């Protein structure tokens, strides 16, 4: 009887915690929805939401932010993932130094980081290009701590050394070993890092604002200086858009399928 009471108590606490977290997260969203349907005249309507599609600069900025997110994710896939895997496999003594380097952006405030790279971006803007896609370089540094920890956790959960040795024994090339054998086993960690990278890029404001690049968050801030109702509607729409974007990205895969793919490779 005591065991049943204890189990009931645990379930009650879990439900209470989930309810508290849900209220904590949903209450601001509900307040945003309520505010975005108001107007200066006091009447409620969807005029602020309809005004979203009448902002050409905003639509262009959203396109830029999505392109930046795609570039950053590509850099994570083709640069960070092979580097971290290779360090774990062949250079274990460098794991601590690499981890320290990857975690440095967490210790450096964004304003300090942008002051350090401002002169570089100024030179690039004058002599190379003024495209806002240049922000992909500094954004890649910002996501390093999160992508590295996600990849490191995934690599520590599997025996990649055995997989790598077995694949090389069977005649697999280095490229085949990395992307055909090791990668499927850590796909969940890679996709989690990609999701974090997308969320960070789409939500970043400080660096793009100080460097005078027009991204989604910068445009939302500019619109908010003239029409708060539209700005809140855009902010809520961007939250919903990012949420749907992250939902459609698979962050986990079936472990059995990973093993079968690795064995087949």
Domain segments of the chain as ranges: 1-36, 46-264
pLDDT, tens only, 20-78: 988 998 898 888 888 888 877 767 778 888 888 888 888 888 888 889 989 998 988 88
Integer Cα distance of 49 and 34 in angstroms? 12
Domain 46-264: which topology? MetI-like fold (1.10.3720)
Query: Using CB atoms within 10 A of its CB, is residue 76 exposed (0-12), middle (13-18) or buried (19+)?
Result: buried
- Cα–Cα distances in Å, from 184 out to 3, 74, 109, 190? 42, 17, 35, 9
Nearest CA among 262, 256, 259 for reference residue 167: 262
pLDDT above 70 covers what percent of the chain? 89
Q: Tens digit of pLDDT for each residue in 175-221?
A: 777 777 778 788 888 888 888 888 888 888 888 888 888 888 888 88
The confidence score (pLDDT) of residue 250 equals 61
Query: CA distances (Å), 146 to each of 98, 99, 141, 191, 202, in order?
Result: 13, 11, 10, 12, 15
Distance (Å) of CA 16 to CA 11, 26, 163:
9, 15, 44
pLDDT tens sequence across 128-187: 888 888 888 888 888 888 888 888 888 888 877 787 778 778 777 777 777 777 787 888
What is the pLDDT at residue 228? 80
Give the pTM. 0.77
Evaluate if residue 253 carries a pLDDT over 50: no
């Amino acid at each position: 009887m005591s065991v049943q009471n204890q189990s009931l108590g645990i379930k009650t606490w879990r439900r209470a915690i989930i309810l508290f977290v849900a209220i904590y997260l949903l209450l601001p969203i509900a307040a945003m929805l309520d505010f975005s349907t108001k107007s200066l005249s006091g009447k409620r309507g969807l005029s602020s939401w309809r005004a979203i599609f009448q902002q050409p600069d905003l639509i262009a900025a959203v396109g830029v932010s999505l392109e930046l997110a795609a570039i950053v994710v590509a850099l994570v896939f083709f640069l960070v993932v092979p580097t971290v895997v290779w360090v774990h496999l062949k250079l274990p003594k460098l794991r601590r130094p690499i981890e320290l380097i990857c975690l440095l952006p967490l210790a450096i405030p964004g304003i300090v980081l942008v002051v350090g790279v401002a002169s570089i971006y100024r030179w690039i803007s004058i002599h190379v290009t003024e495209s806002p896609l240049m922000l992909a370089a500094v954004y890649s540094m910002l996501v390093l701590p999160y992508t590295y920890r996600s990849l490191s956790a995934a690599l520590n959960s599997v025996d990649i050394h055995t997989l790598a040795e077995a694949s090389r024994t069977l005649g697999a090339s280095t490229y085949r070993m990395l992307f055909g054998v090791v990668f499927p086993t850590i796909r969940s960690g890679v996709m989690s890092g990609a999701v974090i990278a997308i969320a960070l890029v789409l939500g970043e404001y400080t660096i793009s604002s100080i460097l005078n690049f027009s991204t989604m968050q910068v445009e939302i801030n500019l619109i908010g200086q003239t029409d708060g109702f539209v700005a809140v509607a855009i902010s809520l729409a961007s939250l919903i858009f990012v949420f749907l974007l992250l939902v459609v990205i698979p962050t986990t895969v079936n472990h059995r399928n990973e093993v079968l793919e690795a064995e087949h490779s």
